[in-house]
Amino acid sequence: FGEPCRYSTGRTAAMSITAPELLAVALVASLGPWVWIACRQEPTASAWSAPAVDDESPFARLRGVSTDFQQHLSGGLWWLAILIVLAVLVLHEYVEERPDFFFTVVLSYSMCFLTSCVVLFAAWLRVGKPNDVSPGLLAMFFLSGGCLGVLFALVFEMIEDVAWSRLSPHCNMNVMPTTPECSALSATMWILTPGLIEETGKALWLFFRFRRSVDQLPGRCCLGIFPAGHSYDCGCWYKLAPTPYHVVLCALASGAGFECLENIKYVFMNTNAVQMLGTQHGSDLVTIAEMRALTSGLHMVWTGIIGWGLARRLFLPADQRPSLLCVVLPSVVMHGLYDFSLSALSWVGKSEKLGIVSEEAGTDYALLFFLFLVVSSCGSCCMLAKLTGLRFCGSRSCCCAPGFWEARFPFAKVQSHPPYVGYAVRAREIREPLISS
């Protein structure tokens, strides 16, 4: 994030379609899933449509599943093995390209993962492990946010970027003269393009794949065509989130996956730094990787905020549940404003040289854009840290503090029994017979 959206692949084909049509395609693709989630009210439609915890019957969980399917729904450790193997295979490709600079390539590649993986591992140790969040579940959402999210963003950001450039050739995400009108227009473009599309690509899978309990799993999928009751059919798509910690941590994992693949793209693919190894610019690869490592983490934060909102929807009483707009919009706006402010700052100097804005006015604009940058980045981090337990006064604690959900919502009990417990066990817990005489 933070760099102009320039894509060469697919631009030639896109030129044969009018700009309004391209824009409509991209907006429908990024807004359509949220409209579908908001409109579908069946409990099996998505995680968002699950009934409130205070509306759920204590005898609702009557569906039985096999032991293998239970393990699959919780996230198998094989997903972690798959993630490690894929990461090693990609590293091998770059090492094969420049084997004489093995340690430089490995160091740069490792820094693409360093920040996100350290933060995610620390969060899992503090609140994931005590609440039985499987590392395999995090690995699976890491891959969803990385592979599916990046693919979604590449396709529709390219389409929307072409549309904006053709609709407004003198003011878009790549051409940003520092004027009030262009700044407002380009900020809107940044919010609707990387803000909306990337946050959709990262968070969508949480809503479509998660269910709070087995009884909310659909029996069939794809318009009822295919069965979804086992790990070897469409049931492999779904995962269970029995606690808020599952939702928040998997949101962080999805953002981490997207962030790591984007780092690889900027470090190894968007530059010729690998080819320049051994020249006077040979240190560029490590320098770019270091810069990406230092600015990594914001994708995790923005998706984590959406995950926090989804957790509130799933685990709070009806009168405390948020609206979908309140859950998604803050991250979309903060993401878009962050990217906009970075690009806008780079255009202040250019606008001064072109005589578009005076030096004094340019300083004012630079301060304003820097304020946007700080609020959208540091503000987002502080917001998620506070939501997950960061406290400086009274009982001090760090972010992702153990029991942060119970501390914020003491009236909302976290589910203490597995979501796939059989009917006989569930009845025994509440001390009622299976069959009354």
Write the burial class of residue 241 (CB in 10 Å: 0-12 exposed, 13-18 middle, 19+ buried).
buried
% residues pLDDT > 90 (the chain): 63
Phi, psi of 221 (to 5 degrees): -135, 180
- Residue with structure tokens 């604009």? 365
Task: Note the helical H segments in 316-387.
Answer: 324-353, 359-387
pLDDT for position 296: 83
pLDDT for position 367: 97
More confident residue, 295 or 174: 174
Contacts 24+ apart (CB under 8 A), 353-356: 354/177, 356/177, 356/178, 356/179
Secondary structure (3-state) at 410: coil
10: nearest Cα among 22, 2, 1: 22
pLDDT higher than threshold 70 for residue 418: no
Let me know: does 213 contact 265? Beta carbons within 8 Å: no
Give residue-wise pLDDT tens across range 335-387: 999 999 999 999 999 999 999 999 999 999 999 999 999 999 999 999 999 99
pLDDT higher than threshold 80 for residue 227: yes
Give residue-wise pLDDT tens across range 262-293: 999 988 887 777 777 877 665 688 888 998 88
pLDDT higher than threshold 80 for residue 424: no
What residues does 220 pair with on adjacent strands? Answer: 227
More confident residue, 235 or 380: 380
pLDDT for position 191: 97
Secondary structure (3-state) at 318: helix
389: nearest Cα among 294, 297, 304, 298: 304
More confident residue, 69 or 92: 92
pLDDT for position 25: 94
DSSP string, 97-150: HSGGGHHHHHHHHHHHHHHHHHHHHHHIIIIIGGGT--HHHHHHHHHIIIIIHH
Cα torsion 156, 158, 159, 160: sign: positive
Give the mean pLDDT of 210-224.
84
pLDDT for position 271: 79
pLDDT for position 387: 94
423: nearest Cα among 432, 415, 414: 432
Write the burial class of residue 133 (CB in 10 Å: 0-12 exposed, 13-18 middle, 19+ buried).
buried
What's the number of CA atoms in the CB half-sphere (13 Å) around residue 259?
31
pLDDT for position 327: 97
Give residue-wise pLDDT tens across range 131-169: 999 999 999 999 999 999 999 999 999 999 999 999 999
Secondary structure (3-state) at 328: helix
pLDDT for position 431: 39
Name the DSSP letter for residue 239.
E
pLDDT higher than threshold 70 for residue 11: no
Q: What is this structure's pTM? A: 0.88
Lowest mean pLDDT among 11-20, 290-299, 390-399: 11-20
4: nearest Cα among 174, 205, 247, 206: 174
pLDDT for position 114: 93
Lowest mean pLDDT among 178-182, 244-248, 413-417: 413-417
Average pLDDT, the chain: 86
- DSSP-derived pairing of the beta strands 220-221 and 210-211: unpaired
420: nearest Cα among 246, 250, 239: 239
Lowest mean pLDDT among 22-31, 265-274, 314-323, 341-350: 265-274
Give residue-wise pLDDT tens across range 34-48: 999 999 888 888 999
More confident residue, 295 or 282: 295
Give residue-wise pLDDT tens across range 241-257: 999 999 999 999 999 99
Band the pLDDT of 4: cuts 50, 70, 90.
Answer: very low
- CA angle, corner 218, sides to 81 and 141, nearest 5? 25
More confident residue, 311 or 72: 311
- Residue with structure tokens 């009018």? 18
Secondary structure (3-state) at 435: coil
- Residue with structure tokens 């005589």? 355
pLDDT for position 176: 95
pLDDT higher than threshold 80 for residue 14: no
% residues pLDDT > 70 (the chain): 87
pLDDT for position 201: 95
What's the number of CA atoms in the CB half-sphere (13 Å) around residue 8?
1
